[in-house]
Amino acid sequence: MPVGSVCVMKSTALIAAAAFTLLMAPDAQAASCSGRGCNDKDPVSAGCSGGSTTADTAPMYTGGTAELRWSPGCRTNWVRVSNYSGGDSALRITVWSGSDHVGFVAAGTPGNHWGNMVHAPGCARGEVLYVDSNGVHRTARLASSAC
């Protein structure tokens, strides 16, 4: 058998093995909840943050951005605070849709923080209440495009 044929056979076998491995690999973490079953659950722990998108953003006076996040797989929203520079109080994060209302308190330390989820097949709203480093009370308000 010519040397070139051996290389082609080995390459074909490696490609076939790699394709089989990819086909047999488990999907990304499957969500452990959906709909109202996700209310007041952590979006990361529940597997709802993968594939999520940002529905709305609002700048925060002390630095950072409040984001209303949407998970199409879980049909939920939650509020995430990105790149928060820190303040004089905890972050009071709230998200609601219709009669479903979820509140969460996160440390006012610098970094990224997020609240728990609410089932939101339509309009969803969120807000972050905080006290800036000058002692002034601030609010970042968010709403989905369905509102």
Q: In this prediction, what percent of the chain has a pLDDT beyond 70? A: 80
Domains in the chain, please, with CATH? 35-143 (2.60.40)
Q: Tell me: the pLDDT tens digits for 19-41?
A: 333 333 333 457 889 889 999 99
Q: pLDDT band for position 2 (50/70/90)? A: low
In terms of Cα–Cα distance, which of 143, 137, 141 is closest to 62? 137
Q: Based on the number of CB atoms within 10 Å of its own CB, is 144 exposed (0-12), middle (13-18) or buried (19 or more)?
A: middle
Q: Tell me: the pLDDT tens digits for 71-87?
A: 999 999 999 999 998 87
115, 102 Cβ separation under 8 angstroms = yes
51 backbone φψ class: left, alpha, beta (φ>0; ψ -120 to 50) = left
Q: Tell me: the pLDDT tens digits for 93-143?
A: 999 999 999 999 998 899 999 999 999 989 999 999 998 778 889 999 999
Angle among Cα 111, 54, 58 to the nearest 5 degrees reads: 60
Q: How far apart, in whole angstroms, are the C-alpha atoms of residue 78 and residue 129? A: 15
Residue whose pair of structure tokens reads 């999520």 in the numeric block: 52
Is pTM beyond 0.85 here? no
